[in-house]
Structure formats: structure tokens, C-alpha cells
Structure 1
Amino acid sequence: MTGVVCVAGLGVSGTAAARVLAERGERVVVVEAAEGERQRAAAEELARHGVEVRFGTAELPEGTVRLVTTGWAPHHPLISAALAAGVEVVGEVELAWRLRGPQPAPWLALTGTNGKTTVVRMLTSMLLAAGRKAAAVGNVGVPVVEAVAEPYDVLAVELSSFQLHWSSTLAPHAAAILNIAPDHLDWHGSMEAYAAAKAKIYERAGVVVYNADDPRTVQAASPYLDDDAAGGPRVAGFTLGVPRPGQLGVVEDLLVDRAFVEDPLRRAEELATLADVRPLAPHNVANALAAAALARSLGVPPHAVRQGLLDFRPDPHRMAHVDRVGGVDYVDDSKATNPHAAAAALAAYPSIVWVAGGQLKGADVEDLVRQAAPRLRGAVLIGADRARIAEALARHAPNVPVVDIAERDTGVMDRVVTEAARLASPGDTVLLAPAGASLDMFENYPARGEAFARAVRTLKRQAS
């Protein structure tokens, strides 16, 4: 390609895209607003590949013929300038798809508001158990633009709505949407635009996997449901109920497949038991079924599905049991950065002291609080948008005691845990499921979860 390829941002994916493009002989200019130590180090590394990095600007380099973005919003000045100039804008994932070799590995792609990383890691574990050379890539792990150059048998690709927005030719072997709930509305502009970005994953997929229990996901899959018998993509649903033909689901304590079997009308294949799913919670069973559906679409046998679940280890800060103090369990689900994720965690425990708050990113918490109210024994609220949660609690759980903590320093978690312990009784679970992002108080959600775990350990020392 003659002219300049502009890469937006020096993050992990942006740096990888710039390096790969330069190695292919392209003239690459990276535009980066921040100029911190990490960014300068990345720029020095890219300079050795002939890549120019321009800091502190949002101007489109002269001669730009393509802009590669790694998640910048359409209204960003650089993106707006490119679109206005008729410059093609593609995401790093779209670029990776176009750079695949002559015998590319098939992609098993998935997206969703919550559960993506868990499912992509479960899926990779199943593929490895089946003897496939596989990797979890995309919004987790290795950037896709690097992974497509490696000799993998299959890629398990986690895709965000940002990445899908800037993709136009992806054609995965199979694609799944786990769930769709309000999130990133400030980026997309509306719930409709957010859902449409998620639905793009299905457009060229060979197999459409959808959550039969999630109305928005069913709606996204609906154009393909009627076409299944008329030459369209194969369609498979997953459900926490008893599966119909064409679905994976649960029968008593078994995970079963009635989609990828020879006779779905008369036959079901046992894949695993509920005890094989860890941690065992309704939303995590759904995660396991989604991963199994993607794996089965590529011919992974039942024994490898089960072994993959047994081999899988959850990432930190996802319903992680920290400790038990005075008969009370303390659980870190700091990854619950939106109401939908928090609702899944709250549904897993019968009696809860809820630690919540942070940046709600415009999301509504009314339904979350209304549904959780019967399980709540108390709440400790922190962060920028705690007042909105407090207001919802006053409306839907007026008898639940609430502690409002105004301090915003990271050391406040000791007080949070102390207050939660005061509200809890033996048999309760103190659950950190914030329903909001962490950046108002912490570097990221892992830092928030680690602060919670440290405070619990301090509490246990004081109690002993």
C-alpha cells in the first residue's frame, strides 16, 4: 500500500499492529495523546522498526490512506477527520483478519457484555484437551494481529463491541454472543448502536451460537433462526433449562448437547456435570455451555469438553472466595464492572452484604437493585456514583441498612470490610460486586479486588 498507515494509540494492540505493518514494508505513523514512561518505551521499540510516533496530537498525518484503531470511539477527532477525508478506518482485529496467511486457522469468536474472558479461556482449555494447538487472543491474551502469523490449529477470539464496530469482513467458523446488557453507552451513543455492534459478529459466521435465555441475544440471532434450514449458517442455542433440539442445556445435574449430534430430535450427548463447572453459579454454567457450543462446532468430543472444564482455572477477581471470617464468606467479584455482571454474582448467593459503587458509565441500576433486594442483608457503598445505588436501595430495599463511605482514597477498603463485617451474620456472604468501573478510586478493577482481599486478611488477623 502506498501512502501512510496511521495507527491510533500505543496500547498493546496498537503497538503490535504498527510493528506488524512495518515488518510488511508499510510506512507507519502512530498517533498517541499520552506521553508517559510506558508510551515512550513503546515508541523507542517501534522506532527500531522504522515506525514514527507522534505524541500529543489528534491530527491525521498527511498522506494517510488507512487508519487502524484499537478501540477509539467514532467521535474522536482523529477518527472523525479520517472519516471526513474518506480514509478507510479498520480495527486491529479486522486488520488481523485481512493479514491471515494462505492456510489460516479457523476462528471461534465470541462477544458479550459479561463473561467473555471466562468463556474464551474455558474454550481454549477444551481445545487444548482435544489436542488442538490453540490460543486465547483478541481482547485477552495475545493481540490477534500477532497470533495470525503463528501456526495455530484454531484461535479462540474474544471480541469487544469496540473491535466489532470497526470490523467489516470477519468470517469466523463459529460466533457466539453470550449476553447483551447496557454498557459502554457513552462510546456507542445508544443501546441500539451497542447491540448492533455486538450483532456484527454473526454477519459472516458459519455457526451462530446464541443465549436462548437472553432476549437481546435472541433478537440478535433472530435473522438466522428462520434461515437455519434454508442454507444459512448453522444455529445453536444454549440455555440453563432443558435443551430443545438445536440447543445445549442442563438436564438434572448434566450439561448436554442436542445441537451438535447426529439426531438432535432423538439424541442428546452428555458433556459434563454441574460439579465440573467452577465456580458453580448460574451464569458460569451458561459460560460453560457457550464454550462447549463453540468447541463442539469444531468437532471437539465430549470427553475433551469435560476435561477442559476440569483443567480451567478462573481468572482472578471473578467470584473469587477470599476467606471465611466468623462464619461469613468474603467473595471478590471486582470484575463485575457493570450492573449485568453484578446481577449474576448477586444471584449466586442467598444472603448478602453487598459492597458496591464506582463509575456506572451511564448504566441504570434500578432492575439490579429490585431483583437483588430479597437477598440483601446490608450494603456498603463507595465511589463516584454510590448515591445512585443508595437511591435505588431506598426505593426497592428500604429496610436494608446502608453504609455510605465518602472517602475516595484506596486505603478506604479496610473501613469498607469492617463495616460489611458489622452488618453480616454467620452464613452471610460479603460480596464485592461493584456494578461500576474502578477508575474513580483505583488503577483498575484488579487493584480494587486486591485491596478488598488485603482488607479481609487484615480482618481475619484481628479476629484471631
Structure 2
Amino acid sequence: MGGRQVTDWQGRRVTVAGLGVSGIPAAKVLRGLGATVTVVNDGEDERARAQAADLEALGITVRLGDGATLPEGTELVVTTPGWKPDKPLFAAARAAGLEIWGDVELAWRLRGPDAAPWLAVTGTNGKTTTVQMLASILTAAGLRTAAVGNIGVSLLDVVLGDEQYDVLAVELSSYQLHWAPSLRAHSAAVLNLAPDHLDWHGSMEAYAADKGRIYEGNRVACVYNVADKATEDLVREADVEEGCRAVGFTLGTPGPSQLGVVDGILVDRAFVDNRQKNAQELAEVSDVNPPAPHNIANALAAAALARAFGVPAAAVRDGLRAFTPDAHRIAHVADVDGVAYIDDSKATNTHAAQASLAAYESIVWIAGGLAKGATFDELVAGAAGRLRGVVLIGADRELIREALTRHAPEVPVVDLDRTDTGAMLAAVREARTLARAGDTVLLAPACASMDMFVNYNKRGDAFAEAVRELSSADG
């Protein structure tokens, strides 16, 4: 079943590993194409039983509570991204000489002959924002596009839908890339690399290698982060089409084949004639919302991919101006008594929190939650000089407190021994007592939220609500 296209699915015996947001659509699509589909799932709770009943009504076999055994006669395995590569099911599939695809690989294989090319983005942090910026720029250029992939819009839906696109802006996670061996993007970017999901990948080397798959077979540009050498190393290791170029982005002055910043202007020295001498102005830093350093880097990466696709400079400016970031990404909630309150609940790991802390001069930091195996020494040491005070919440706050004791012993710390949802209001009140006019109270937890909240959105909502209570009390 190698190659790009599989045209005859009739009667093919496909095993789908896992229910969930990608497993269920994959099973339905494959059944619709005529395949004989069996879904296997580890869990068998009430929700899984309801999902199984829906699939069985479509003629799909579902085996709950048995995700380890490969169904007899399987010819292909399609997996949800979250299933770890060391699962026994996959070992059995490999031993049988079977291919294992993820939902992205399935979508790639099901594209029609005139399918839109993919501009792909991955990285530890900033993927969603960059893909949304890219889609905004492409739209400003008059192109039919959509932001798809790990961003929540299913690639299967887009590939098999009736709507026609000129180009797709595709967010890809390391999980998805691991299971997408034949994906070949027009151009792709790795924004940054920092330890994350190591429990899934097994090592930093394996995680980086999966991220680097995004560059395989690129046709026009491999976009990398000049400040993050690991991303450039992945470009060097990639097997690309002849003529494909390495294009860097930097917050400093760009060299040839780079995009960067000069005197508050985003400039392009990659997609211009005579790039040794010439540069093209694209936009002003003030066109980027918000103009925090890591977000300017996102904008440059998005601009590089758009320019690789031939988008004019004016569309970069117009697209960045039109872009509005999602909630809970360095979102300004309110000013109270001259103190800015910023919600960056999306900073669920240390790398994201590091970028957030670097954006402000004097900070009262609200942090904590589920650490996911992270350590905090590097983060705290780097931010120590900016911290007015720290308020800690959540299950693993002790790990951050120990790092603060080692690297920022002079900084006052309030340790809220609470993991209930009401702790956020208490945290905001404590932060207010520590802050002075001109400071920023920053929710950048550096941790996941599930110890206290359903997700990072609910955590950010709780912060914003607590800030509104402060300001209404003043009013």
C-alpha cells in the first residue's frame, strides 16, 4: 500500500487504533470508502460504549477494552495521534509487515489529483498562532485557504469536502508527524524545539526527529529559527527536493536568505532579487498583535511560508493587521490601579512560559499546575531579574518553589496550598498586594491545568473573572 494514493478501499481490512477526535472520523471515512473497519480501544467506559454503538450502526466492528491485540486479517493500521509508538498493537503490526498511518497520513493519501499544496508548521510552542497568522496572510492575498490540522479543523474533512482551496495552512504535532511517513509539504517551518511530550517519544532525540519529518520532501523552503540551532540542524538532515532552500527567521537583522527585524520593520532578504544586497519591507512590528518577542517570531515564520508561496509583501502586512489571537494567549484582561493583568493560560510548559515572561519588565507571576515531568531551574533563573513576586497554585507548585529558592531567593513567594477552582481568585488577590503601578500580573503557569480545571481555557476564564471582580470592587 505504498505510494501517494490508494484508490481501491473496497473490502480492505483496516484496524483503527483508538476512539476519539481523530479515530472516529477516520473509521467513518474508511467505512464510507468501502473498507472493512475494526476499531480497537483500551477503555470501555460509558462514553466509549455510546461511541461504539454509533459506529456499529454504520457496520463498523468495535472492540472495547482490548487495544493490545491486532485483529486477524488486518491489512493496515490507522492510529489516533495519542497512542504511544511502543504499544503492543503496533509491535504486532510491524511484525506482520503492516504500515501504520495516523489521521494526517490518511488525509494525505486521500487527496485528489488537484489537491491544494500544504504549508506546514510545527514546533513546541506557537504553532496555532503561526498557522492562524499564515491563513490570515494568505486570505489577504486573495487565496482560498483554511487553517487546519492539529488546530481543530480535521484534515480529513477538508481533503474530502466539496470546498476547493488554493493552499492549506496546516498545524502538525509531533504525534501526527510520527505517523505521517509520506507527507510532503510545499514548504514547512519548525518554530522551536524544547523538551515536551518526552513520555510519549521516549527521548529528546526521538521528539526532535519526529518534528524534523515535516521538512522531508519540501519543494520550496524549509523555514527554521536562527535563534534555535536545533531547528537548523533538522533542515540540514532533511531529504528535500532539488532547489528547496533553507530560510531562517530572526528577531535581529537578517542575513541573506533570512527574514528579520530592522528598526521596527519586518524585512525579507530571502524572497527578493539579489538577496545579498536587497531587502523587502513586509510590515511594522506594531502590525503584529500582540508585539511580544515570541509573537514577532511567529509572524516572521508565517511571513516566510507565505512568501515561499509567492504572496506579495502588502498581503503580509494586511494579513498581520487583520489577525486576532485566540483567547488565553498573552491576552490583556484589564488594568487595575496602573497594573496590567495578562492571561497567558496557554503557557502550559516551561518553554511557553519563558517566552511570556520575557515580554514584560516587572512581573508578579502566577504559576503552577501539573508539571508533566518538567523542571523549572532554567526558567526561573532566566526570569529572576524580572520578578516582583510570585503566587503559586496547583499540584506541583512545590517544584517551582524549590527552583525559586535556588535561583531567586530575594523574590517574595506566596504559596497557596490549594488546588480547588476558587484558588484563582485568591491568587489574583495575592498578586494585587505584591504588584506596584507599572507592573504586570502575568498568568503563565508553565504547567498543565487538569489538576484544577477542565483545560487551560477554563483556567484563563477563571483568571479573567477574578480580575473583573477586582476592577468592579474598585468601581
Q: TM-score range by the shorter chain?
A: over 0.9
Confirm or deny that 1:140 pairs with 2:151.
yes
Between the aligned partners of 1:313 and 1:48, the Cα distance in structure 2 is: 42
Asked if 2 retains the 8 angstrom alpha-carbon contact of 1:127 and 1:304, the reply is yes
Asked if 2 retains the 8 angstrom alpha-carbon contact of 1:126 and 1:309, the reply is yes
Residue in structure 1 matching 2:230, options 200, 206, 216: 216
Residue pairs, 1:38-437, within 5 angstroms:
39-40=48-49, 42-58=51-67, 59-71=69-81, 72-150=83-161, 151-206=164-219, 207-223=221-237, 231-437=242-448
Asked if 2 retains the 8 angstrom alpha-carbon contact of 1:239 and 1:286, the reply is yes
Aligned AA (1:61) = P
Provide Cα deviations, 1:178-231, integer angstroms capped at 9, x if missing partner. 00011111111111111111111112111211111112112212336xx99x94
Give me the TM-score of the superposition, normalised by structure 2: 0.93
Larger deviation, residues 297-306 vs 52-61: 52-61
Between the aligned partners of 1:273 and 1:242, the Cα distance in structure 2 is: 14
Asked if 2 retains the 8 angstrom alpha-carbon contact of 1:73 and 1:79, the reply is no
Residue in structure 2 matching 1:439, options 420, 438, 450: 450
RMSD across aligned positions (CA): 1.8
Larger deviation, residues 330-339 vs 140-149: 140-149
Asked if 1 retains the 8 angstrom alpha-carbon contact of 2:343 and 2:443, the reply is yes
Confirm or deny that 1:28 pairs with 2:28.
no
Between the aligned partners of 2:218 and 2:363, the Cα distance in structure 1 is: 41
Aligned sequence identity (%) = 61
Shift of 1:149: 2.1
Between the aligned partners of 2:90 and 2:424, the Cα distance in structure 1 is: 39
The size of the alignment, in residue pairs, is 461
Shift of 1:174: 0.2
Asked if 1 retains the 8 angstrom alpha-carbon contact of 2:44 and 2:64, the reply is yes
- Gap regions ≥5 residues in structure 2: 1-8
Between the aligned partners of 1:37 and 1:425, the Cα distance in structure 2 is: 51
SS in 2 for 1:235: strand
Asked if 2 retains the 8 angstrom alpha-carbon contact of 1:114 and 1:340, the reply is yes
Between the aligned partners of 1:428 and 1:57, the Cα distance in structure 2 is: 54
Shift of 1:245: 0.8
Shift of 1:323: 1.0
Aligned AA (2:314) = H
Aligned AA (2:193) = I
Larger deviation, residues 56-65 vs 167-176: 56-65
Shift of 1:88: 1.8
Shift of 1:233: 1.8
Between the aligned partners of 1:375 and 1:462, the Cα distance in structure 2 is: 28
Query: 1:39/1:453 Cα in 2 relative to 1: closer, same or farther (>3 Å)?
Result: farther
SS in 2 for 1:12: coil
Shift of 1:310: 1.0
Shift of 1:80: 3.5
Asked if 2 retains the 8 angstrom alpha-carbon contact of 1:4 and 1:61, the reply is no
Asked if 1 retains the 8 angstrom alpha-carbon contact of 2:134 and 2:169, the reply is yes
Provide Cα deviations, 1:363-420, integer angstroms capped at 9, x if missing partner. 2211111110000011111122211111111111000011112211112111111111
SS in 2 for 1:208: strand
Between the aligned partners of 1:42 and 1:250, the Cα distance in structure 2 is: 50
Aligned AA (2:195) = P
Provide Cα deviations, 1:86-122, integer angstroms capped at 9, x if missing partner. 3321111011111111111100001000000000000
Shift of 1:84: 3.8
Instruction: Name 1:4's counterpart in structure 2.
Output: 13
Query: 1:46/1:127 Cα in 2 relative to 1: closer, same or farther (>3 Å)?
Result: farther
Asked if 1 retains the 8 angstrom alpha-carbon contact of 2:393 and 2:423, the reply is no
Query: 1:78/1:313 Cα in 2 relative to 1: closer, same or farther (>3 Å)?
Result: same
Aligned AA (2:18) = G
Aligned AA (2:300) = L
Between the aligned partners of 2:87 and 2:275, the Cα distance in structure 1 is: 48
Shift of 1:39: 4.3
Between the aligned partners of 2:253 and 2:304, the Cα distance in structure 1 is: 15
Larger deviation, residues 68-77 vs 392-401: 68-77
Between the aligned partners of 1:34 and 1:463, the Cα distance in structure 2 is: 50
Between the aligned partners of 1:401 and 1:393, the Cα distance in structure 2 is: 9
Q: Return structure 1 stretches of 4+ with deviation > 6 angstroms.
A: none
Aligned AA (2:62) = V
Provide Cα deviations, 1:27-55, integer angstroms capped at 9, x if missing partner. 11222334556545544443443223332
Aligned AA (2:428) = V
Give me the TM-score of the superposition, normalised by structure 1: 0.95
Asked if 2 retains the 8 angstrom alpha-carbon contact of 1:240 and 1:286, the reply is yes
Larger deviation, residues 247-256 vs 232-241: 232-241
Query: 1:257/1:76 Cα in 2 relative to 1: closer, same or farther (>3 Å)?
Result: same
Larger deviation, residues 356-365 vs 94-103: 356-365
Asked if 2 retains the 8 angstrom alpha-carbon contact of 1:333 and 1:449, the reply is yes
Between the aligned partners of 1:214 and 1:307, the Cα distance in structure 2 is: 28
Instruction: Name 2:4's counterpart in structure 1.
Output: none
Asked if 2 retains the 8 angstrom alpha-carbon contact of 1:3 and 1:63, the reply is no
Between the aligned partners of 2:44 and 2:464, the Cα distance in structure 1 is: 33
- Gap regions ≥5 residues in structure 1: none
